[in-house]
Amino acid sequence: MRLRALSRRVVLATSAATVATVVFGAQTAFATDDSFTVYSDDSGFCGSAEFVDYGPGAAGGGNNDDYLVIHDLCSDSRGVRAYAWVNGEYLGAKNNTNGLSGAPVVWDPFGNVTGMQVVGLKVCLFDSDNVLTHCHEGENTILDG
């Protein structure tokens, strides 16, 4: 009888360990939303670049991973320029000159960002003479890619 009771305890302990592994293992499978936004000014008006970890992407392209949405939110005769880096490697710049009533610009300079890479953004306003103003930078370490 003691052997039977001991067997039940081993089975129960093994089952509990299996359940814990499944539950905690499943938690690591949940994606982390690493999205973040950098604004051209402290008030959050006029321009921004939004790093989207996962979302709808460009119209008609279906869901996508790791791209920027550049917003021009002011009717001020200035455009918005976004710069992008991954782990310090410069990926380029893209402009949004659509203005307040125009569409945001979707730009994917990243390909696929993997876990623990650092995405850096810089956002500036610029005028017709290409003079940059109101520049701000930000970065985020991407947790799960």
- Smallest Cα–Cα separation from 74: which of 96, 89, 57? 96
**Whether pTM exceeds 0.85:** no
pLDDT tens digits in sequence order for the chain, 145 residues long: 454 444 444 444 444 444 343 334 444 445 789 999 999 987 767 999 999 998 887 777 777 889 999 999 988 899 999 999 999 999 999 999 998 889 999 999 998 899 999 999 999 999 999 999 999 999 999 998 6
**Phi, psi values for residue 53, rounded to 5°:** -70, -40
Instruction: Provide the pLDDT for residue 126.
Output: 96
